[in-house]
Structure 1
Amino acid sequence: MLQFELWKKVLIWSVCAVGLWLALPNAFYTRVEQHNDAVAAIEVQGQTDALGAEAAQWPNWMPSALVNLGLDLRGGAHLLAEVKVTDVYESRMQAMWPEIRDRLRPERATIGTVRLQPSDPQEIRVKISQPDGMVRALEVVRELARPIQTLTGVGATDIEVRGEGDVLIVTLSEAERLASDDRTVRQSLEIIRRRIDEVGTREPTIQRQGKDRILIQVPGIGSASELKRIIGTTAQLTFQPVVGRGSDANANPGVGNMIVPSLDEPGAYYTLESAPVVTGEELVDAQPAFDQNGRPAVNFRFNTSGARKFGDYTLENIGSPFAIVLDDEVISAPVIQSHIPGGSGIITGNFTVEESTNLAVLLRAGALPAGLEFLEERTIGPELGQDSIEAGKIATIVAFAAVLIFMALSYGLFGLFANVALILNIGLIFGLLSLIGATLTLPGIAGIVLTVGMAVDANVLVFERIREELKTSRGPARAIELGYEKALSAILDANITTFITAVILFAMGSGPVRGFAITLGLGIMTSVFTAIYVTRLIIVTWYDRRRPKTIEV
């Protein structure tokens, strides 16, 4: 037990050295952070003297990964948003009407003429002139139903079709509504993440909470209102046929049409067909640009499907106006001059350079499928974050010093050995946090403070066991050997159960709870390693050199 092969000694000290090497950048946090920012900026915009000077603050051959500071330590913005999942039902119904109309037209001999009726936004009501053909109409429309591809929707279809007299009614099924709600929140989550990533913020926390809410925490951003500007726009881009133009917002647009205000012309309103020809979902790229007059604009490009629909429509409607609608406002309504077969075009308007850049970012990230209602917003200033860091430092130093003093007074030389292992343990924790790119929060600091107390638990068990073995008149070597041998099971049992708790906290919790679970879990692994291997190796090395006849623990 007291013999360590050379390769084991080399491996143990190598692990400790690598851990401290990875943790080293955190001792020079500001300098390394500026270096990392400069390197990232050079990759995007090229080398400049200022960026080169900042990049030179830290050697390129040294590790530069840092422990990311969370919202409560760096300051930033916190939002809790509710996704308006019912918005999707209306858009689904609007998109389905042209398909229903095209399916029913060939059946005119049986069902007569087809007219869209005013109805609730979450359903479609279609009147047929020959009520006797309702059975056939129901059969045709039910052919449009698709099976739901979820476990909860097995055997169900996405729409329900029924007839009332001469009116055919189409609604989404309950199973489809549940599946749609889940898809909408997941899609909103991913799009919000993409939009925030485009801006280049550090380590945002974007998590689903409950059925239809999303928690958004972004460290380092100026305010909650700034964060809302980044993610709060739905960026629903559509290309819709123009029926007419006027100045009355309350005019009757007619069935199947809608009235939309003009963004550039106050007081002007466009009557558009509700069903878009192409939507922003079929965009594959959008980039800020300038039009032929040198004004800021946005170039866009459709995928194959969107390009085909866009090309066919422009070919058939040369000379007609075509509205580009963003978030229920007409930003441009150019007249189609010629066939546009390539699936690309340009959006012009009274944009500033910043507005065109932001619009391109939003369009590239994709449209939010539904609106967001912000239930909670909070801005944490950098000063408050710095106060939290200082409080965390004080708590850690006090706990660290108290443990070091206690171990030295209680166990003498062996206590000093345990203190060396404890210092290495803290270094290994920060090395692992840097390696995996973890975010340190205030509860995470609490996890480290708790680890400081728990880290000596294993050494206390071993040392107490060695004391008991010495009382039975065993020699020092045998007492040390039995101390480690008999304490091992208790050490593993205690730490495994705590580690399971940390895993459950990480799996079931969110935000600060996860931060605590990560530092606690990593602390358990490093403390077991330092207690079982590092401390024992130090004791064995000391014993081999001194060969004392008696020892005091």
Structure 2
Amino acid sequence: MQNKGLVRLFAVLFGLVCLYQLSFTYMTYTKENEAEAYAKQKYAESVEGYSELRNLEEKRYLDSIGKEPIFAGFSYNDAKGKELNKGLDLKGGINVILQISVRDILEGLANNSKDPAFTQALDATDQTQKDSQNTYVEDFLIEFNKIPDARLASSDIFANRNLSDDILFDMSNEEVEPILKRKIDESVVSAFEVLRKRIDKFGVTQPNIQRLGESGRILVELPGAKNVDRVKTLLQSTAQLEFWDVEKSQEHLNFLGAVNEKFMNEGKEGSEEKPKVKEEITESEQVLDTVQKDSTQVDADDEIAKLLADAEDSTDVADQADQINSIISGPYSGAALVSVAIKDQEKFDEFLNRKDIQALKPQSLRYTKFAWSKAEKDSTRVDLYALKGNRDDIPELSGGVITDAFQTFDNLNNVMVSMQMDGKGAKKWEEMTGRAYNNRGQIAIVLDNIVYSAPGVTTGAISGGSSQISGNFTVEEGKDLANVLRAGKLPASADIIQSEIVGPSLGQEAIDSGIMSFAIALVLILLWMIFYYGKAGAFADVALVVNILFIFGVLAGLKAVLTLPGIAGIVLTIGMSVDANVLIFERIKEELAKGKSQADSIKDGFKNALSSILDANITTGLTGAILFLIGTGPIKGFATTLLIGIATSLFTAIFITRLLIDGYGKNGKELAFSTGATKNLFKNININFLQKRKIAYVISGIIIAAGIGSLFTQGLDQGVDFVGGRSYTVRFAKDVVPTDVENDLIAKFESAQAKTLDVNNQLKITTKYRIDETGTTVDNEIAKDLYEALKPYLTEGLTYDEFANGDENKQVGIMSSMKVGPTIADDIKQAAIWSVVGSLIVVFLYILLRFSRWQFSLGAVAAVFHDVLVVLGIFSLTYKFMPFNMEIDQAFIAAILTVIGYSLNDTVVVFDRIREFLSEHTGWQLDKNVNAALNSTLGRTLNTSLTTLLVLVAIFIFAEPLRGFMFSLIIGVVVGTYSSLFIATPVMYDTVKKVGLKEKKKPETEELKA
């Protein structure tokens, strides 16, 4: 090997850089251990709420030493920003995909146009998007162009005042389309920046936010975040801040009276069928009389509410009249119209928005806007305000004038948010507050259509542009609101269409199992290499350890995220990286057997193995690259470590191992590439593989036929990734029976599944209940319903908060959760299919390029198809009775692509030797060349497969969360080894026989270049 000094220098420098990168992880690890020990010493387990107290104390400790130098001038805060990033499954946290509403953006660009063609196209697009792979704007343009004579540049749509600089009235639809796409893209970029600013102030380390293609989707990962509701509110709040004059409640008394009379009349019409309701209406008439006499106080009539409960499920008019009167009873402030129970809020809105009710409004109230107050903590009611609207539904003052916002306290030490406006805003604020003072009115401060406060003005007009928002906030809520206002408003609503939440306890368990599997797999590999190759194996072990250092160093340097599948990728890389050394050592042994000197054998062994090593790793790398491009979160982490591992394995096997071997033998020392137990293994083997190919075809045909039959009859256990839904990992204090739990869940959710996950006291619960509905409120309602359904199985006294957040003391409750909307589930499934198909196409073309014969490509792809079908078939046949999770999700797709890569790795090595034999032995028959090549590579094939299986079995045993993932890889390795010998090569041989093969001898140098 030439330039040994340069290679040695590079390896040393690269190793030092990796150690430098990993030193920051070591610094943070030691300091966080100190903080944990300090917190444990301060709060014993006997202290109530010790877990939360310890967390707070750890944070205080780390904050106090955050800027103190630890080593070489670096502080804990410096090191924290440079440490190896850990993913959600290792650290706990939240991962969400937000869908920025392109419909909202289009409506905004069109000034909320009510044009029939525009509305029709939007509604049609909403339906099309459920099964479409296009972006929203692409489908909108298709639907709009279907409408006869519909013009985007209409003055009622996009040729408006706001877009006058971009869209002219005489433009065609084709001319307007690129402008709309650009405007939408700008809005999504704006949303991305707003979210980034909010997240920067949230307080988690190593957040990740990235835009996903052109779909308007934004991925947000917050490792370590624990407060789910707080995160969801932060991300989904549009921060649409508005200031409106509040209309006095007296102005609406006549309207309320007319509403009441209409319901009274409707109730009387149904009195014959429901005489009891008639009596209730008569009694509730007194309630509204109270409203009319005193707009500042209404006493709820408990007896009326009790009577109405009996008729709550009825849908006739008399019941509705009855319900509306019960709903509005209750105390409320003078600025509000009525007070309503939170549970009845949606029902009240339904009544108020009925067209016949709206028709009762007098002309003076035609522009009135109704808005609800913020639900106060521990309160069961909300107030309804009437805001003084206008024709354009635009507030006099909006949040765009806010220049600064910060959390502070009032005189009573209540949390509030203070805001400062720019000059234009300050002038308008002074005008509004002056008017409110003179009229003894109130100004509603409205955020995202919710009235946070409606203060009166008692000291005259307020100058200077200063204002406050109060609302019974916690300190965290106040800080978040201030951060949101500073960051600015989102240009459109943002819905969470996919979310994954992992509790910190589950994350720590994943780390423990990952480290255990990693350590055991590494020890097994190191011992096996020494057992099989002696001192040469020890040199390969040194190269392997250096390889691990390089992998983790590169991960830290690139700021890549280490996930549990990522650890699996590293361990798998370790197993597969041995393959390069095995290839080299087996070729060296062949050269020694020919009688060559040790130096020449080493030189020729490395040279002859290079082609196979490169081909095998490139094909695996291609599948890893496809996985990296289509994957997100943990799957991307797996692909990242796999790709890094392939690159570093090549370097260490080809250069580091060579340096060590050459260094040992430079003084004439003999180096045996085997031990006494392995010296004669796989020597003089002469198996006629091709003669057995028909038996192999029959065996494979039976397995594949059984698998396909199962796929068509009972299918696969598809996870929420592919079908949409909500999934919860719930841990109980005692073992539970899944079928019993499932029956109780079905009674609550209409449809649900409960399956044991790893241990008998842990279930994976999945439901599609209300999956089409979005918003934090719906998510919380379903979590509460889940809590109620599971109460009989939970520890007595476990509160909802402890259940929802995975109680750290008792290790019970929701340990992780996942939500995938139906639209993104369809996209994920399509991406998965295309990733597999794409990898097959790419590999076919690569092998065709390298071997110049399509028969080799066909054999390789046939083997891959065979392996994929076998894995799918086995999963379909066994998922119902296997004692571990076998869901088909994105991780499974990662496994399939890894199986493809491994199978190709094996096949390419065999094909490379066949090509070599065809060139060397031109006088031999084709079948003799093929069988000889297969026999000569058998030692390498079985050795590599065995070492890889040792690794996979270790992970399977010790990493419970990855058992389904590892099971698919174990099947893939076994089947991949089999198919390279009995499927890929025979298919190539049979097609060559049919079309003929012109054998042409190539010079040895030319073959090596190929």
Tell me, yes or no, whether TM beats 0.5.
yes
Alignment match, 1:271: 388
One-letter identity of the residue aligned with 2:389: L
Tell whether 2:402 aligns with 1:283: yes
Between the aligned partners of 1:548 and 1:499, the Cα distance in structure 2 is: 37
SS in 1 for 2:434: coil
Cα–Cα, structure 1 residues 216 and 194, in superposed 2: closer, same or farther, change >3 Å? same
Assess, with a 3 A threshold, how the Cα gap between structure 1 residues 447 and 57 changes in structure 2: closer, same or farther: farther
- CA distance change for structure 1 residues 468 and 75 in 2, over 3 Å: closer, same or farther? same
The CA deviation string for residues 317-376 of structure 1, in whole angstroms up to 9 with x for no partner, is 673235432121343456595585x6x422243454614322211112222333444456
TM-score by length of 1: 0.73
Instruction: Measure, in 1, the Cα distance between the counterparts of 2:412 and 2:28.
Output: 48
Match of 1:224 among 225, 228, 253: 228
**Counterpart mapping for 1:46-445 below 5 A:** 51=63, 58-61=70-73, 64=79, 65-79=82-96, 81-88=98-105, 142=159, 144=161, 145-146=163-164, 147=166, 155-157=174-176, 186-206=189-209, 211=215, 214-240=218-244, 247-248=336-337, 250=352, 252=361, 254-261=365-372, 266=383, 268-273=385-390, 274-290=393-409, 296-302=415-421, 307-308=423-424, 310=425, 313=428, 319-321=434-436, 323-330=444-451, 331-332=453-454, 337-338=460-461, 340=463, 344-352=465-473, 354=475, 355-374=477-496, 379-445=501-567
Give the Cα–Cα distance (whole angstroms) in 2 for the partners of residues 493 and 140 of structure 1.
57
Distance 1:298 1:317, change over 3 A: closer
Distance 1:140 1:444 in 2: 50
CA displacement 1:152-200 (0-9 Å, x = unmatched): x98444xxxxxxxxxxxxxxxx878766766555544443343233111
Preserved contact between residue 195 and residue 365 of structure 1 (Cα < 8 Å): yes
Greater Rg over alpha carbons, structure: 2
Unaligned runs of 5+ in 2: 37-59, 123-153, 251-335, 339-351, 353-357, 377-381, 437-442, 675-1010
**Residue in structure 2 matching 1:500, options 613, 622, 629:** 622
Q: Deviations over 1:263-283 (max 9, x none)?
A: 599454332332123432453
The match for 2:717 is: none
| Distance in 2 between residues matched to 1:75 and 1:401, nearest whole Å | 28
Distance 1:550 1:508, change over 3 A: closer
> Cα gap change, 1:459/1:510 in structure 2, threshold over 3 Å: closer, same or farther?
same
CA-CA distance at 1:448 after TM superposition: 0.4
Q: What is the rounded CA distance, in whole Å, between the counterparts of 2:238 and 2:182 in structure 1? A: 21
Q: Does the 8 Å CA contact 1:78/1:224 hold for their aligned counterparts?
A: no
Mapped to 2, the partners of 1:551 and 1:386 lie a distance apart of 44
1: distance between equivalents of 2:100 and 2:156? 35
Query: Aligned letter for 1:31?
Result: T
Q: What does residue 110 of structure 1 align with?
A: none
Is the alpha carbon distance of 1:350 and 1:402 closer, same or farther for their aligned partners in structure 2, counting shifts above 3 Å? closer
Quick one: which amino acid aligns to residue 418 of structure 1? A
Structure 1 residue 10 and structure 2 residue 3: aligned?
A: no
Q: What is the deviation of 1:435?
A: 1.7
1:223-256 Cα shifts (integer Å, max 9, x gaps): 4334324334332112345666555475747455
Counterpart in 2 of 1:100?
A: none
2:369/2:386 contact within 8 Å kept: no
Which sits farther off after the overlay, 427-436 or 237-246?
A: 237-246
Residue 71 and residue 314 in structure 1: after superposition, are their counterparts in 2 closer, same or farther (change >3 A)?
A: closer
Question: What letter corresponds to residue 402 of structure 2 in structure 1?
Answer: L
Alignment coverage as a number of residue pairs: 484
Separation in 1, partners of 2:659, 2:83: 30
Question: How much has 1:258 moved relative to structure 2?
Answer: 1.9
Closer, same or farther in 2 for the Cα pair 1:361/1:410, shift >3 Å? same
Return the alpha-carbon distance in structure 2 between the equivalents of residues 10 and 140 of structure 1.
67
| Distance in 2 (alpha carbons) for counterparts of 1:53 and 1:391 | 31
Letter in 2 for 1:286: A
Alpha-carbon contact 1:332-1:348 (below 8 Å) kept = no
- Report the secondary structure of 1:320's partner residue: helix
8 A contact 2:94–2:225 mirrored in 1:
yes
Q: Please say if residues 89 and 122 of structure 1, whose CA atoms lie closer than 8 Å, have aligned partners that are also in contact.
A: no
For residues 158 and 574 of structure 2, the distance between their equivalents in structure 1, rounded to whole angstroms, comes to: 67
Contact 1:243 1:270 in 2 (8 A): yes
Q: 1:338 to 1:79 in 2, by over 3 A?
A: same
Whole-Å Cα distance in 2 between the matches of residues 420 and 446 of structure 1? 21
Query: In the aligned structure 2, how far is the partner of 1:520 from the partner of 1:295?
Result: 53
Contact 1:260/1:272 (8 A) holds in 2: no
Distance, in Å, in 1 between the alignment partners of 2:641 and 2:525 is 19
Q: Are the aligned partners of 1:90 and 1:121 in contact in 2 as well (CA < 8 Å)?
A: no
Code of the aligned partner of 1:491: I
Confirm or deny: 8 A CA contact 1:31 1:58 kept in the other structure.
no
| CA separation of 1:316 and 1:285: change in aligned 2, threshold 3 A | closer
The structure-2 alpha-carbon separation of the partners of 1:395 and 1:508, relative to structure 1 and needing over 3 Å to count, comes to same
Change (3 A) 1:3 1:428: closer
Matched AA of 1:4: K
Q: Which has the higher strand share?
A: 1
Q: Deviations over 1:82-140 (max 9, x none)?
A: 5454444555566789xxxxxxxxxxxxxxxxxx9xx98999xxxxxxxxxxxxx9699
Counterpart CA distance in 1 for 2:156 and 2:566 is 60
Give the AA of the match of 1:219.
P
Distance 1:457 1:141, change over 3 A: closer
Alpha-carbon distance in structure 2 between the residues aligned to 1:49 and 1:443:
32
**Distance in 1, Cα, partners of 2:18 & 2:73:** 16
Contact 1:418 1:459 in 2 (8 A): yes
Q: Is the 8 A contact 2:399 2:485 kept in 1?
A: yes
* Residue type at the aligned position of 1:19: C
Q: State the secondary structure of the residue aligned to 1:199.
A: coil
Q: If each structure's helix is expressed as a fraction of its own residues, which one has the higher value?
A: 2
Matched, 1:488 2:610: yes
Go from structure 1 to structure 2 and tell me whether the alpha carbon gap of 1:346 and 1:141 turns closer, same or farther (over 3 Å shift). same
Query: Which of 661, 675, 681 matches 1:539?
Result: 661
The verdict on how the C-alpha distance between 1:260 and 1:216 changes in structure 2, with shifts beyond 3 A counting, is same
Q: 1:287·1:298 contact (CA, 8 Å) conserved in 2?
A: yes
What amino acid is the match of 2:93?
A: G
Q: Does residue 459 of structure 1 match 2:576?
A: no
Q: Distance in 2 between matches of 1:478 and 1:154?
A: 73
- Give the superposed CA RMSD: 4.3
Q: Is the 8 A contact 2:370 2:384 kept in 1?
A: no
Please tell me whether the aligned partners of residues 75 and 380 of structure 1 are also in contact (alpha carbons under 8 angstroms).
yes
In 2, Cα distance between the equivalents of 1:465 and 1:269? 85
Identity of aligned residues (%): 33
Q: Helix, strand or coil for the counterpart of 1:388?
A: helix
What TM-score, normalized to structure 2? Answer: 0.42
